[in-house]
Structure 1
Amino acid sequence: MNAPRVRGRLTLDDRRRIAGWLDGGLGYAEIGRRLGRPTSTISREVARNSTDGEYRPGHAQETAVHRARRRRPPRRPGQPADVVRGFVDEFAALLSATGLPRMTARVFASLLTADAGGLTAADLVALLQVSPASVSKSIGALEAMELVARRPAPSIRGRRERYTIDDDVWLRAWQADTGAHGRVAEVAQRGIGIFGPDTTAGTRLASMGRFFGRLSEQMGGSTLAEAAGYDALTVVAALVHAGRPLTPDGLATALGWPRDRVVAALAALRRRPAIADPLELCDAGSGTVTVEARADRLSPAQREAIRRFHLASPATVVTVEGCRTSSPPATST
């Protein structure tokens, strides 16, 4: 009579039956059918636990128990395993929503919640119940993003390593994102010059450039906290007040600064155009500079509407100094 189909690991009784059926001359397929197991399971079991051509069920059971202990997920002190697993899965789902692959997110969440010593690849395989290849691929992706550090594990036999998350991982990720956002903004600005600010492509690039430029400035820290940032705004104010192009020497003389200080402020304006937003620094020729309204701050439709409004209402005059508005005196009729 055939044995009922079973699930789970082979037991010592299963292994003793295998030994008896092998002695009786049964093949792997028939033994697998009687145990309700795939033929490949039986063939691997026999090949793994045979000595001098003889299958040893006792040795096979001891080896399996030892292997199961090694694969047991690492203990997480203080919280039940199901609570920890639930948090890891929830956090991984949130990371996946930002674009991180699901498996990579699960590995990262597991390392994030691990002890200071980190986890080995075998730990991650046991903890997540996935293949070693999946863990290896995810670790490679995290290392490429500099989110995971590799540490030797001298206490473990063999050439194994532990993976940890350093305390400064967020700073590195922040800096990487800030640089990427700034480069996107710069490329968008170049695109506006290629396609023109009044084209559909130019308008889209302007919107994208404004968004990523602002994001880069905010993520990079307060530029105004830097001396060059303060000086850059002072130079912008001076150029607005002058109402005409000035040379760096002229600015230095007017502001009472050394020329190097003016040059550094101008360099800051060129390096980070968002400092002067909604104005931008422009080269006016003959070594002079001026400031103008950024072409990407207003859409073509908005600029045209303002032009029409200005032509229809020329009486209003804006006085820059003191931000006062005035109108010319009414003429008597």
Structure 2
Amino acid sequence: MPGGRLTQQERERIAAGLADKLSYGEIARRLDRPTSTITREITRNGGPTGYRPRQAHQATIQRARRGTPAPPSEAAPPIPAMEQEIIEMAVRAGMPRTAARVHHDLALSEDGRRTAAELTRRLKVSPASVSVAVNYLLQQGFVRRERDPLRRRDIYVIDDDAWYDAIMISEWQTLQTARATMAAAETYGLDSPVGQRLARAAAYLERVGLGILESAERRRTLLR
């Protein structure tokens, strides 16, 4: 895994990944960099919506010339080894690290509910990082959002159906991939080697996706 400062080219690829709405973890994987490096780079330089690769590169050069590194963020409290392993497993499965920490913190809360301010304070990360993390979790079905009408703030909730919802979203995406793969197979021709290979992949993905959906539905009562 490469070390040292990010290059201008890597920063351009980070910007391209953000434009394609890739997760921080996926951007890090494509650059063969730690997810924490990508998260820190984006957070320091405008966040996911304001990141500009050239400005970020110039800012890094200027900090290096001054010999004054960017101020470190306040450290979060130590995480017990067992809980850290759960977070690391989620990261290895593809979940961005901050999203994994947010998900874990919600799972351990008394009622499965936290505000963005509470998550920011507990995890010692920026509001922008929490916003990116919860948006990822919302898209994947791991949490849902409630609105507090009295205090005009969002509350993020992990409830009994969270894993069911996440599996349903994931497997519907698998079925969409199966359909797209079959369409590609038909384009190449089902009699061609490429078409046959794609058709087999499509059939496999469809069968697995439907099987998992059926299993998730049958066993949903285990969550309640």
Give yes or no for the alignment of 1:208 onto 2:198. no
For residues 183-227 of structure 1, the C-alpha deviation after alignment (integer angstroms, 9 at most, x for no partner) is: 2222222222221234342233123213201212211217xx9xx
Give yes or no for the alignment of 1:183 onto 2:176. yes
Give yes or no for the alignment of 1:219 onto 2:209. no
**Does the 8 Å contact 2:168/2:213 carry over to 1?**
yes
Which of 90, 113, 119 does residue 118 from structure 1 map onto? Answer: 113
Indicate the structure with greater strand content.
Answer: 1
Give yes or no for the alignment of 1:96 onto 2:96. no
**Does the 8 Å contact 2:140/2:170 carry over to 1?**
no
Whichever residue aligns with residue 96 of structure 1, its letter is V
Give yes or no for the alignment of 1:105 onto 2:100. yes
Secondary structure (helix, strand or coil) at the match of 2:214 reads coil
Match of 2:47 in 1: none
Whichever residue aligns with residue 195 of structure 1, its letter is Y
Match of 1:138 in 2: 133
- Rounded Cα–Cα distance in structure 2 between residues aligned with 1:166 and 1:178: 20
- Rounded Cα–Cα distance in structure 2 between residues aligned with 1:188 and 1:136: 34
CA 1:185–1:150: 2 relative to 1, 3 Å: closer
Identity over aligned residues, as a percent?
30
Which of 154, 157, 160 does residue 164 from structure 1 map onto? Answer: 157
Where do residues 285-300 of structure 1 align in structure 2 (5 Å cutoff)? none
Whichever residue aligns with residue 94 of structure 1, its letter is M
- Rounded Cα–Cα distance in structure 2 between residues aligned with 1:86 and 1:119: 23
- Rounded Cα–Cα distance in structure 2 between residues aligned with 1:187 and 1:159: 42
CA 1:159–1:205: 2 relative to 1, 3 Å: same
Whichever residue aligns with residue 97 of structure 2, its letter is R
CA 1:120–1:85: 2 relative to 1, 3 Å: farther
Secondary structure (helix, strand or coil) at the match of 1:218 reads helix
**Does the 8 Å contact 2:112/2:158 carry over to 1?**
no
Kindly tell me the number of residue pairs found equivalent between the two proteins: 144
Match of 1:192 in 2: 185
**Does the 8 Å contact 2:112/2:159 carry over to 1?**
no
TM-score by length of 2: 0.54
- Rounded Cα–Cα distance in structure 1 between residues aligned with 2:84 and 2:122: 12
- Rounded Cα–Cα distance in structure 1 between residues aligned with 2:169 and 2:149: 32
Where relative contact order (Cα < 8 A, 6+ residues apart) is larger, the structure is: 2
**Does the 8 Å contact 1:118/1:162 carry over to 2?**
yes
CA 1:204–1:109: 2 relative to 1, 3 Å: farther
For residues 128-178 of structure 1, the C-alpha deviation after alignment (integer angstroms, 9 at most, x for no partner) is: 2211211111112222233222235589xx544432102112222222223
Structure 2 runs not aligned, ≥5 long: 1-67, 219-224
The structure with the larger Rg is 1
CA 1:199–1:131: 2 relative to 1, 3 Å: same
CA 1:153–1:188: 2 relative to 1, 3 Å: closer
CA 1:196–1:154: 2 relative to 1, 3 Å: closer
**Does the 8 Å contact 1:117/1:162 carry over to 2?**
no
CA 1:87–1:125: 2 relative to 1, 3 Å: farther
Which of 135, 142, 145 does residue 147 from structure 1 map onto? Answer: 142
Structure 1 runs not aligned, ≥5 long: 1-37, 42-70, 74-80, 226-333
Secondary structure (helix, strand or coil) at the match of 1:162 reads strand
